[in-house]
């Protein structure tokens, strides 16, 4: 995701149930149509200049077929694709499942949980820049906070997280989960709150245990929100740049880059913008089906426009 969008889900479009359109509105006449068009023009202009044109320009940059053999034969690119799939596959799914569980924990509103929720939201409120910088310095050397903690607790030297590819990639994923877990927990928390309590009461009277209630009541009713959130998060995470850029910076030896950082380095560090654009375009076979599925789901589940 681009961190950009996950800022404030005060009222997320994900589960905004659409009120029905009132009937019997009257149609626009001459001058009113002109006004309506005039009202839309600023948005249309912004969209054309700063979304449509850059998208087309990016596609044009990566449109030369000869560039793709070069890209695919770059061993760093192969590493990058594997990393991106791990980052999205593990990061998004673990995050979503944890968010689902933790949102259940926060359903009870006693003072302690209220307080904890306030603290728990902190990673989401922090700018990604500050948070991931801090993570970087926790991991970067044997005197970082994590290694210090490790040696205090176990008495042995801690692992050097950024020296091996697997621990470095795991650090990226954990950092990513840390940053975005609160956001999705809030989404699931509000979805849980929308489930009528009577259903749980009925289930309890019928003798359903807590686990049974979760499996047979909560989960089916939240399945749609869960699916839409996972798909949305998958697309957003593909564009996630700050996590890897700051936490490991691709270390060790450019082996932990994801597509976003890889194409960034191709473009700006090695001055090969066409390779950078091609790397991003190579993700389209994954993105397009997810986006189509997502838009269908969103339309069906009541986001009407």
Which of 81, 235, 244, 258 binds another protein (CB under 8 A)? It is 235
Give min distance, CB of 227 to another protein, in A. 14
Q: Computed over its alpha carbons, how large is the radius of gyration of the chain?
A: 23
248-267 residues in contact with another protein (CB under 8 A) are 260, 263-264, 267
Which of 76, 142, 150, 167 binds another protein (CB under 8 A)? It is 142
- Using alpha carbons only, what angle is made at residue 179 by residues 175 and 180, rounded to the nearest 5 degrees? 120
Using CB under 8 A, which of the segments 72-80, 87-95, 164-172, 268-276 binds another protein?
268-276
Convert residues 15-54 into a mask of x (bound to another protein by CB under 8 A) and - (unbound).
-x-xx-xx--xxxx---xx-xxx-xx-xxx-xx-xxx-xx
Helix (H, G, I), strand (E, B) or coil at 282: coil
A 10 A CB-CB count for 70 gives 14
Give min distance, CB of 168 to another protein, in A. 17
141 binds another protein (CB under 8 A): yes
Give min distance, CB of 41 to another protein, in A. 8
Alpha helices for 194-241 (secondary structure H):
197-205, 210-213, 219-238
Which of 194, 215, 223, 253 binds another protein (CB under 8 A)? It is 194
285 binds another protein (CB under 8 A): no
Residue whose C-alpha is closest to residue 233's, from 198, 188, 269: 188
| In contact, 90 and 173? CB cutoff 8 Å | yes
- # of chain residues touching another protein (CB under 8 A): 116
A 10 A CB-CB count for 293 gives 13
């Amino acid at each position: 995701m681009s961190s950009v969008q996950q800022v404030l889900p005060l009222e997320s479009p994900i589960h905004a149930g659409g009120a029905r359109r009132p009937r019997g509105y009257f149609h626009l006449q001459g001058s009113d149509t002109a006004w309506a068009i005039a009202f839309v023009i600023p948005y249309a202009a912004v969209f054309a200049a700063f979304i449509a044109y850059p998208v087309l320009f990016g596609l044009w940059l990566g449109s030369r077929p000869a560039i793709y053999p070069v890209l695919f034969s770059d061993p760093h690119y192969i590493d990058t694709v594997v990393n991106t799939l791990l980052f999205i596959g593990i990061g998004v799914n673990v995050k979503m499942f944890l968010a689902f569980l933790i949102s259940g924990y926060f359903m009870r509103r006693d003072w302690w949980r209220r307080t904890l929720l306030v603290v728990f939201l902190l990673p989401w409120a922090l700018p990604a820049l500050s948070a991931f910088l801090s993570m970087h310095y926790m991991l970067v050397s044997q005197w970082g906070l994590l290694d210090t903690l490790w040696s205090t607790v176990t008495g042995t030297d801690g692992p050097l997280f950024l020296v091996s590819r697997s621990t470095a990639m795991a650090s990226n994923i954990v950092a990513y989960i840390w940053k975005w877990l609160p956001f999705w927990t809030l989404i699931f928390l509000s979805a849980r709150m929308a489930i009528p309590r009577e259903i749980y009461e009925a289930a309890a009277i019928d003798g359903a245990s807590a686990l049974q209630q979760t499996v047979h009541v909560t989960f089916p009713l939240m399945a749609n929100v869960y699916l839409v959130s996972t798909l949305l998060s998958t697309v957003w995470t593909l564009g996630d740049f700050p996590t890897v850029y700051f936490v490991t910076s691709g270390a060790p030896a450019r082996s932990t880059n994801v597509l976003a950082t890889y194409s960034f380095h191709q473009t700006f560090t090695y001055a090969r913008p066409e390779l950078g654009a091609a790397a991003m375009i190579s993700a389209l076979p994954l993105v397009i089906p997810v986006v189509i599925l997502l838009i269908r789901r969103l339309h069906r589940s009541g986001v009407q426009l």
